[in-house]
């Protein structure tokens, strides 16, 4: 279930110890304060509870559904008593049920400066909110036909995409923001000639290649996860990679009716950086994760694909190929590559060109991208106002 019931919410609110030191806030990358919003919610002051979330986090509902448990929950004092408060779900439920008003711009007048933001993912949206509140006009250029960036690759079961739109509708201020969809920017430096500053929040749009013969017969995780219905199959699916994104690919293929799904992971299963919940879901969907296996070649096999994989060995420091261990698996309908992605080249020679989110830090989480977008906007404000 995505949201808590009334009873569940009340139980979670009552379990909070209202810790004076607020470890949950210190662990949150955007300094959202669960102690505060839980306290308000417990007293039935819903408007204050909503405001306590949204003034720090413009995408609080989306975060509530997908923030990993390594931040506020890991720091929750209740871990030492029994188990942590389910802070993300409490946050999502409060916003789902009680948010009615925008944070707004508090009457801040436009200051005449114009900023371009490239990329309407979490980092770009957060930057837009901070700049709009400070009186800047913002044009947001987005290659795709929707806001949300990589969040749109997250399966609906985990994150209904209408929630991304909802968060955006509370950020968007039509008197000072323009969203330009289907507007790919080739060279951010060119936009610097037109605007007082440019924030680049383009994520990591380039999928890493396997660099094996027959690679073109496989599908990238981006192509797959943006439009999984186009690749629906009742046959066998191979997923190359062992991170969260690979897990989302495997689960999506299983949910869409694949007869079997196998993952091929270069390292050991114990090295997979995925949560316990994700491990459990792989088991529930009977997905076989093959550790220490790397792909070597993909070939056509009639209507199917033949995937050649080899065994790796780990000597305590590095992984190497085990000689003569290659086997051919001739039965796949679909091979998905999900071994990561990288950002476009950066241009760090222009002071009014500032990078934010995954394109700056490498693959991260939604809440870290939001923090980075907010910081980039603050840096832009300081640069533009003092130049």
Q: 242, 263 in Cβ contact below 8 A?
A: yes
Cα torsion 74, 79, 84, 87: sign = negative
Count of alpha carbons within 13 angstroms of residue 363, beta-carbon side: 14
> The tokens of 277 are what?
């919940």
Is residue 18 packed enough to be buried (19+ CB in 10 Å), middle (13-18) or exposed (0-12)?
Answer: exposed
Q: Which one of 29, 34, 58, 119 is in contact with ligand FAD (CB under 6 A)? A: 119
Residue 122 binds: one of ligand SF4, ligand FAD, none (C-beta under 5 to 8 A by kind): ligand FAD
Q: Which one of 2, 19, 27, 66 is in contact with ligand FAD (CB under 6 A)? A: 66
Is residue 61 packed enough to be buried (19+ CB in 10 Å), middle (13-18) or exposed (0-12)?
Answer: buried
For residue 64, state whether it binds ligand FAD (rule: CB under 6 A): no
Q: Which of residues 196-215 bind ligand SF4 (CB under 6 A)?
A: none
Q: Which one of 2, 3, 8, 23 is in contact with ligand SF4 (CB under 6 A)? A: 23
Maximum alpha-carbon separation in the chain? 70
Q: Is 342 left (phi over 0), alpha (psi -120 to 50) or beta?
A: beta
DSSP letters along 308-352, please? EEEEEEE-SS-EEEPTT--EEEEEEEEEEE-S-EEPPPP--S-TT
Comparing CA positions, the residue from 243, 266, 246, 265 lying closest to residue 254 is: 246
Binding mask of the shown chain, residues 298 to 317, with x at each position contacting ligand FAD by CB under 6 A: --------------------
Q: Which one of 357, 371, 376, 377 is in contact with ligand FAD (CB under 6 A)? A: 357
The CA distances from residue 78 to 16, 30, 65, 83, 84, in Å, are: 7, 21, 20, 6, 5
The CA distances from residue 181 to 133, 184, 235, 262, in Å, are: 22, 8, 36, 36
Q: How many residues does the chain have?
A: 387
Q: Which one of 50, 163, 292, 369 is in contact with ligand FAD (CB under 6 A)? A: 369
Q: Which one of 13, 50, 67, 199 is in contact with ligand SF4 (CB under 6 A)? A: 67
For residue 228, state whether it binds ligand FAD (rule: CB under 6 A): no
Q: 253, 239 in Cβ contact below 8 A?
A: yes
Comparing CA positions, the residue from 364, 369, 335 lying closest to residue 57 is: 369
Angle 324-326-331 from CA coordinates, rounded to 5°: 160
Helix or strand run (H / E) with residue 381:
helix 366-385
* Stretch of residues binding ligand SF4 (CB under 6 A), selected from 24-32, 100-108, 218-226, 302-310: 24-32
Q: Which of residues 319-378 bind ligand SF4 (CB under 6 A)?
A: 367
* Stretch of residues binding ligand FAD (CB under 6 A), selected from 107-115, 148-156, 190-198, 307-315: 148-156
Q: Which one of 72, 151, 240, 251 is in contact with ligand FAD (CB under 6 A)? A: 151
Q: 188, 151 in Cβ contact below 8 A?
A: no
Residue 143 binds: one of ligand FAD, ligand SF4, none (C-beta under 5 to 8 A by kind): ligand FAD
69/344 with CB nearer ligand SF4: 69
Residue 124 binds: one of ligand FAD, ligand SF4, none (C-beta under 5 to 8 A by kind): ligand FAD
Q: Which one of 366, 376, 377, 380 is in contact with ligand FAD (CB under 6 A)? A: 366
Residue 244 binds: one of ligand FAD, ligand SF4, none (C-beta under 5 to 8 A by kind): ligand FAD
For residue 205, state whether it binds ligand FAD (rule: CB under 6 A): yes
* Stretch of residues binding ligand FAD (CB under 6 A), selected from 117-125, 230-238, 254-262, 314-322: 117-125
Separation of alpha carbons 384 and 113, rounded Å:
8
141/168 with CB nearer ligand FAD: 141
Q: Which one of 25, 72, 115, 150 is in contact with ligand FAD (CB under 6 A)? A: 150
What is the closest distance, in whole angstroms, from the C-beta atom of residue 202 to ligand FAD in the complex?
Answer: 3
Residues contributing to the site for ligand SF4 (CB under 6 A): 16-19, 23-24, 28, 30, 32, 34-35, 38, 57, 63-64, 67, 71-72, 76-78, 85, 87-88, 91, 367
Residues contributing to the site for ligand FAD (CB under 6 A): 66-68, 118-124, 141-144, 149-151, 153-154, 184-185, 201-203, 205, 225, 244-245, 248, 357-358, 364-366, 369
């Amino acid at each position: 279930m995505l949201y808590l019931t009334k009873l569940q919410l009340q139980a979670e609110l009552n379990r909070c110890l209202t810790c004076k030191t607020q470890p949950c806030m210190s662990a949150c990358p955007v300094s959202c304060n669960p102690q505060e919003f839980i306290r308000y919610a417990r007293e039935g002051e819903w408007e204050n509870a909503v405001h306590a979330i949204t003034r720090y986090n413009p995408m609080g509902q989306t975060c509530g559904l997908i923030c990993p448990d390594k931040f506020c929950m890991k720091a929750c004092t209740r871990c030492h008593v029994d188990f942590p408060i389910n802070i993300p779900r409490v946050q999502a439920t409060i916003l789902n049920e009680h948010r009615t008003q925008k944070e707004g711009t508090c009457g801040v007048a436009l200051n005449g400066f114009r900023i371009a933001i490239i990329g309407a993912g979490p980092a770009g949206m957060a930057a837009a909110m901070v700049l709009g509140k400070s009186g800047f006009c913002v044009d947001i250029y987005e290659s795709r036909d929707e806001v949300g960036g990589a969040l749109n690759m997250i399966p609906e079961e985990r994150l209904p995409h209408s929630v991304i739109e909802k968060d955006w509708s509370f950020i968007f201020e039509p008197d000072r923001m323009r969203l330009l969809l289907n507007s790919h920017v080739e060279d951010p430096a060119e936009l610097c000639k037109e605007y007082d500053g440019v924030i680049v929040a383009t994520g990591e749009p380039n999928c890493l290649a396997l660099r094996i013969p027959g690679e073109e017969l496989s599908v990238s995780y981006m192509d797959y996860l943006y439009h999984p219905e186009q690749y629906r199959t009742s046959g066998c699916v191979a997923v190359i990679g062992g991170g969260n994104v690979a897990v989302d690919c495997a689960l999506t293929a299983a949910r869409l009716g694949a007869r079997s799904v196998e993952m091929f992971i270069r390292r050991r299963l114990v090295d997979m950086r995925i949560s316990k919940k994700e491990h459990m879901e792989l088991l529930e969907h009977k997905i076989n994760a093959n550790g220490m296996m790397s792909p070597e070649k993909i070939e056509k096999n009639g209507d199917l694909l033949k995937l050649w994989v080899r065994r790796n060995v780990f000597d305590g420091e590095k992984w190497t190929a085990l000689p003569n261990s290659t086997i051919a698996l001739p039965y796949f309908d679909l091979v998905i590559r999900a071994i990561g992605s990288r950002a476009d080249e950066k241009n760090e020679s222009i002071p009014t060109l500032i990078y934010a989110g995954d394109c700056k830090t490498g693959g991260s989480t939604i809440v870290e991208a939001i923090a980075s977008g907010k910081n980039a906007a603050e840096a832009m404000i300081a640069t533009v106002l003092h130049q």
